[in-house]
Structure 1
Amino acid sequence: MSRTFSLRTVQNLPISPAEAWDFFSRPDNLVRITPPGMGFSIRSHHHGDRMYPGQLIEYTVTPFPGMPLYWMTEITHVSEPFYFVDEQRFGPYALWHHQHHFREREGGVEMTDIVHYRLPFGIFGVLGGSFVRKKLEAIFRHRYDVTTQLFGAWPEQSCSIRFFRS
């Protein structure tokens, strides 16, 4: 049986929680915060410009050159402006559960992402774990850089991504 992995990243931004919610709750902005090399594109007509519970979003993602993959996630929980959760319904993972949390703090907002994921293919998936970990780390580092460019840097902060394994 494959293991469940998780990652946690925290980023502070010098914007209001409402501004953070406005940006991150729009599915179209996923393209802006995903590395261009991932070949990420939204395929679905997501029925509105804001996330809502039950919303299905379809993507194409290309983690390897010339190998586009279909991915569908469902927005399962939304509590504006505090958090939302997306879960994979079809795609490259055996499990994908991604929590996006927003907490007001003096001078801005603290964003925390918690991702639980499990790789497919049993032992072969486990063997590919370091590749997937590096890809996820690159995705969240890219998102950190893009959001810092868009909204400004938080003093004395660097990109922090912690991985865990159960």
Structure 2
Amino acid sequence: MSLAAETRDAVRERPYLLSALRAGVVNYTAAAESLDVEGDTDSVATALRRFADDLPDLTTEDRDATVRMRSGVGLAGEDVEASPDDDRVVTVGGVEMVAAEGPMTALIATGDVDARALSAAVDRLAAEDVLVDAAGVADGELVVVVPRRQGATALRLVEESLHEVVR
């Protein structure tokens, strides 16, 4: 494998570095030193520069979605005793979060949402140290479950994140 191909593969293993290259905010020498690529630093840095030149610029888009907050969400069988009448907020791998007097809050975005929008929301929440207990997206609905006390902050952050979804 060539040095250039090895460098591209190493970058693809680090999505944050790929985004930084697309955004044009990389110190190529420092990035080259951080990669586990055999070759001298200058050669790897040159491969990074060439790879960055071939990448599309990082762009974002505003998503048309409405975000609402749903309090009282809990883990079925652990936080709350769920009944068939309870509203299932999100189910992942057979684990259900239901709206039934639980200790968490769900942020539910409906509209132009997909996996990229979910990624933007979760990354934004992580940047602000908001714990995400569960998250999912399907069929025009995005759900993020957070501790109740962080609900209002999370609502604002999810709304903001939907204005800057990376394409």
TM-score by length of 1: 0.29
Radius of gyration: which is bigger?
A: 2
Q: Going by fraction, where is strand more abundant, 1 or 2?
A: 1
Q: Quick one: higher RCO (CA 8 Å, sep 6+), 1 or 2?
A: 1
TM-score by length of 2: 0.29
